[in-house]
Amino acid sequence: MNFREMRAKLIATYGRFVFFPDDPEIPKVISTRAFTHLVIEKENIVVHSLKPLEEQLEEEIKEDYDVIYEPPKLEGTYYISPNAKTRNIQFKWLNGEKILKKALRKPFEEELELIRGFSKSIDVALNRVWDKIEIGMTAETLRSLIDCELIKAGTEEFAYPTIVAIGKHSLKPYPSTEGTVEEGKIVYIDSAPSKNGYPLNFSRVIFTEEREDWINKLERINKIYSRISKLSAGNSCEEADMIIRELGNFPHYSMVPSGGFYQPYAPGNCILEENMLATVVPSIYIPDGVIRVKRNIIVRKSGLEFLV
């Protein structure tokens, strides 16, 4: 039984569920999108597909699910993903977000291996980007360069459009890609590439001038990362938040779920559990722009494992 089958059976313990092929959660419950309905019930898990998709389905499916080449007869009420398009649904349904929050709290070990491999690919792509950045390059050109390298490294889609905000543009609550790479400017990069249904949300800053106050603030962020690296399974999200906010207050979470999972949030009353995946968001706002280095972490028994 692979991790997708284990998750489907876990979902079944909470209620009857119907997935559609365009749901972002799909790669976590089945290895193909060559179907019309994935029906999860306590008794069985059934893939409903179209006969013309039979060859593709047989090649791609890795799970031991029943396959039927006809529409499902859905009697009673089923849960659906909050991301499902509800306009054409012809059966009684309820929002399944609470179920997914339980079943997608954290990844299985098999999934962590996929996520680690993707993280390494992103690092390779970013190293290529750093070598190509030039003074005078527009933010749009730099964003295209970043996306291109990430796609060559295996990115299949982006959870949101990559942001390249230069200087004061980065201070906006939702920064837009604006400006030109100039000396004396902070270049802020924020992206969420996704592969196999696992988005990794990261950000970096580039200084186009050696300013002592900028470098000091970046070193403060690095020291915060050194301190939180000692946290591990069993620590509270509030403990993590208190350490990160020693940098100063900022108007957003200091830790958010990553990889398409639903825990943890800091500040929040959650407890860090082994294998939880999160993005840490330490931030310092100054008049010249935001200095922020978002990184992804895996919670382990002995401490935090850092990804991109």
Residues in the chain: 308
94 shares a domain with 50? yes
At 152, which amino acid appears?
K
User: Residue 164: helix, strand or coil by DSSP?
Assistant: strand
210 shares a domain with 301? yes
In 3D space, the residue among 283, 308, 253, 296 whose CA is nearest the CA of residue 170 turns out to be 283
Q: What span, in angstroms and rounded, lies between the C-alpha atoms of 172 and 28?
A: 34
Range of the domain at 79: 3-103
292 shares a domain with 234? yes
> For 20-46, how does the pLDDT look when each residue is reduced to its tens digit (9 = 90+)?
999 999 999 999 999 999 999 998 999
Q: What span, in angstroms and rounded, lies between the C-alpha atoms of 158 and 42?
A: 34
Percent of the chain exceeding pLDDT 90 equals 98
Query: What pLDDT, on a 0 to 100 scale, did the predictor assign at position 82?
Result: 95
Residue listed under structure tokens 């889609």: 157
Query: What pLDDT, on a 0 to 100 scale, did the predictor assign at position 166?
Result: 97
Would you tell me the crossing angle of helices 3-12 and 109-130 to the nearest 10 degrees? 120
Domain count of the fold of the chain: 2
Give residue 256's pLDDT band: very low, low, confident or very high (50, 70, 90).
very high
Helical residues (DSSP H) of the chain, grouped into ranges: 3-12, 54-60, 97-103, 109-130, 139-152, 212-228, 237-244
Strands 77-80 and 92-95: parallel
Last residue of a domain, one of 69, 103, 137: 103
Give residue 244's pLDDT band: very low, low, confident or very high (50, 70, 90).
very high
**What residues are paired with 80 via a beta bridge?**
18, 95
Rounded to 5 degrees, φ, ψ at 126 are -65, -35
In 3D space, the residue among 112, 74, 95 whose CA is nearest the CA of residue 23 turns out to be 95
80 shares a domain with 7? yes
* Residue 110 CA to its chain's centroid (Å): 17
Q: What span, in angstroms and rounded, lies between the C-alpha atoms of 193 and 122?
A: 8
* Model pTM score: 0.94
Percent of the chain exceeding pLDDT 70 equals 100
> For 88-130, how does the pLDDT look when each residue is reduced to its tens digit (9 = 90+)?
899 999 999 999 999 999 999 999 999 999 999 999 999 999 9
User: Residue 185: helix, strand or coil by DSSP?
Assistant: coil
Query: What pLDDT, on a 0 to 100 scale, did the predictor assign at position 43?
Result: 83
Q: What span, in angstroms and rounded, lies between the C-alpha atoms of 240 and 2?
A: 33
CATH number at residue 286: 3.90.230.10
* Residue 215 CA to its chain's centroid (Å): 28
CATH number at residue 36: 3.40.350.10
261 shares a domain with 218? yes
Query: What pLDDT, on a 0 to 100 scale, did the predictor assign at position 215?
Result: 98
Query: What pLDDT, on a 0 to 100 scale, did the predictor assign at position 87?
Result: 85
Last residue of a domain, one of 86, 103, 120: 103
122 shares a domain with 76? no
Q: What span, in angstroms and rounded, lies between the C-alpha atoms of 90 and 260?
A: 28
Last residue of a domain, one of 81, 103, 125: 103
99 shares a domain with 136? no
> For 135-174, how does the pLDDT look when each residue is reduced to its tens digit (9 = 90+)?
999 999 999 999 999 999 999 999 999 999 999 999 999 9
Mean pLDDT of the chain: 97
